[in-house]
Amino acid sequence: MYRFLLKPRWILSHLFVLSMVVLMVSLGFWQLRRLDERKTFNAALKSAAAQPAEPISTLLPAGVDASRDQVETVKYRSASATGRYLDDQQVLVTNRTQNSAPGYWVLTPLDLGDGTALVVNRGWIPYGYTADGSWADFAPPTGQVSITGAIEEPQVRSSGIVGGPQDRAEGTLKTFARADVARLAQQVDEKLLPLYVNLQTQVPAQPDSPGLPAVLPPADFSDEGPHFSYAMQWFMFSAMTLIVYPLLLRRLARRRHQVEESAGRDDSDSFGDLHAT
């Protein structure tokens, strides 16, 4: 009944299905490897964030000349700095949410007193404020300020995005599409370090009323992505294929067998009728 499955075209079908099963199992294990990599990456970032704050000059000795790779090695580290906020040169970053509410980030350069400045993301404000309105409600403390903040790499517009928001290349901007430190450096008198920090602590503290800007929550290092669910899906697909394909072959073989038996009975009846005649 199953002899027809040994024909060349059916052997090719078996090999194709088997190769698909091997591919799906391989993709499942690949997703598990990606999960392990993500866990290792998260652990490294969590360890970096847990280290005590160090002066920004210690973490980034190259200063304004630091490369992108040097900034990446200290990402999420807690940096400390002392200086004076340049509130007349602060800008807002649009399309930022906090607790699902739309608003802005407030980026304020901190003059370090040596001709350089550190961009501080002081937190989030709601969309009720505008670029042309009063910013008195979230004005930074005056005079000398000491801060700590988690280091972040500057945000840049991906070259692969077509039609995405883009800041003007020239002129002085009050609102930015992203935390683009290089673009901000074009309109700030001091040289900017090639990074920014999300504010953690500040002395003197921001006034309690109206409580703005709202400090951003710490980065979440528990997200492991969809890799485990993807792996389970690939394993499920491969298991279903191994179950369904033999059942389909069995059903086809039975149908062929029934057709052959029916044809045999018809031939036998015809021979009997001829003999009787």
| Same-domain pairing of 271 and 181 | no
> What amino acid is encoded at 2 in this protein?
Y
| Same-domain pairing of 194 and 237 | no
| Same-domain pairing of 196 and 124 | yes
| Same-domain pairing of 126 and 23 | no
Mean pLDDT for 242-247 is 93
Of 230 and 221, the structure prediction assigns the larger pLDDT to: 230
Does 14 reside within a domain? yes
The total number of residues shown for the chain amounts to 277
| Plot region of 99 (φ>0 → left; ψ -120 to 50 → alpha; else → beta) | left
Confidence of residue 274 (pLDDT cuts 50, 70, 90): very low
Does 8 reside within a domain? yes
Query: Is the pLDDT reported for residue 221 higher than 90?
Result: no
Mean pLDDT for 35-56 is 91
Residue 83 half-sphere exposure toward CB, CA atoms < 13 A: 23
Contact 227, 38 (CB under 8 A): yes
Does 7 reside within a domain? yes
Does 62 reside within a domain? no
Does 60 reside within a domain? no
Q: Which sign, positive or negative, has the C-alpha torsion 172, 173, 174, 176?
A: negative
The pTM of the full predicted model, rounded to 2 decimals, is 0.76
Does 66 reside within a domain? no
- Token pair for 165: 């928001």
pLDDT of residue 157: 78
| Same-domain pairing of 107 and 152 | yes
Angle ∠(52,42,182) on CA atoms, nearest 5: 70
Does 230 reside within a domain? yes
* Domain assignment of residue 270, given as a range: 3-40+226-276
Q: Tell me the C-alpha to C-alpha distance, in Å, between residue 176 and each of 51, 52, 91, 124, 132.
A: 31, 31, 7, 14, 14
| Same-domain pairing of 101 and 20 | no
> What amino acid is encoded at 182 in this protein?
A
Query: Is the pLDDT reported for residue 5 higher than 60?
Result: yes
pLDDT of residue 227: 95
What is the number of structural domains in the chain? 2
| Same-domain pairing of 246 and 161 | no
How many whole angstroms separate alpha carbon 148 and alpha carbon 53?
Answer: 7
Q: Token match 């002392």: residue?
A: 82
User: What pLDDT digit, counting tens, does each position of 200-213 carry?
Assistant: 999 999 988 788 99
Contact 119, 83 (CB under 8 A): no
| Same-domain pairing of 153 and 257 | no
| Same-domain pairing of 83 and 134 | yes
| Same-domain pairing of 29 and 109 | no
User: What pLDDT digit, counting tens, does each position of 47-68 carry?
Assistant: 888 899 999 999 999 999 999 9
| Same-domain pairing of 137 and 175 | yes
